[in-house]
Structure 1
């Protein structure tokens, strides 16, 4: 891998310096992606009958443009589509989706929500608090009004992020460092059964949006250095991988305040 990094002039991974795990994952998956890329035939069929169908067509058209000549199994396994929606809030446009702009997503980078008292930092929250913060609605009015291309007029609207499709393997990274380089060790709670229902954040047709946690990458240290470990679920038990040491841990200790990147597997729909 270091040889490949040097050949690609990616000096971040050519040596032994510590790097961010999300950046490494992007680099690693990209290696497989480039090796497996090939042209495929993609066809968008069906009649657009409503606003959801219109969003579907824009998402699938984007897939054709981006991947028809360079598709690999990595796209289907790790990539999803998120949509920036513009929602009307006035008159006949109230609660209507006026615009939907799709873009692919790989690692879902979610920030910790702000404390009601902005002078303080939160000490704990849930994974859903982070996801609600990521997908929260933003009112665009006044000087920030949205221009409706169909009417040529400016309108007050709401903007929000939703997911059209989610991949079989969902990777979420928690942003724990602020703009000043200070790291937060806020505890991000997941459900006791380690399940994650993504349905509240999905606008697509897929009804199966339940995920189970199967691995956690932990980071101890600051913004510019530290140590990584991994907690991995195997045969209904959890194990901590710390360099060459492997030890069994309690299920309740799978997610700690050091959790940085979480790996989720989509549950079977059967």
Structure 2
């Protein structure tokens, strides 16, 4: 019986990849459109499914072989390469709460890590089910565990900015907010080779200042639509019940792998992910 259920889940992932893969050629992945209510709707066209290797690990056959540099009379100095940040449109600068409800797709987001106790357990579960997720990392945790940050990225998950110290941004100056976001983006870029393109304010408390700074740094803002409040340790059954009751096509689900004892979150993920998969849900994350 177990093998038949596992086979069914693998077939569903493969079917989802085939179905959504064709749409990806027609629409830009995670393209933002403004809704009448002023919220931002995201059109999901990226193929959900098993994590893929990071871009840094994928060879490109079309890249020409660089010519050797001419000899220099002076000492060699490595050039400083500044990351190129995308200019955001007004629609792209608004916080995203939901994905396209016309597709049976869920975005799983993991906050407050990395944590050496719980992040590896979450990664193992995601690998088991072939799910890509978005990890919103705190800078002061990431700087302590760079190997774990690289592992998240190397497994194909999306790396995102969750500030340096997890403060309440609503009561901070623009320079202080910029320092929180810029330090974190710079660290994640140095560690993974990827410049973060998404940001989540601690507590989901976006402010006019944080939205302005994020846009200046090329960061789109992601909130959520399903919050089981797992950070408060309400009990594994409570987390499971909230997710399964509130999830719908296009939901962005909030979970935590850092900030304390996250054993309830891990146990809840172990229980509700198979239920969502068996209900026909596919999972997505922004492109890397």
Same fold, TM exceeding 0.5? Answer: no
Higher strand share: 1
Higher RCO (C-alpha 8 Å, min separation 6) = 2
Q: Which has the larger radius of gyration?
A: 1
Scaled by the length of structure 1, the TM-score of the pair is: 0.26
More helix by share: 2
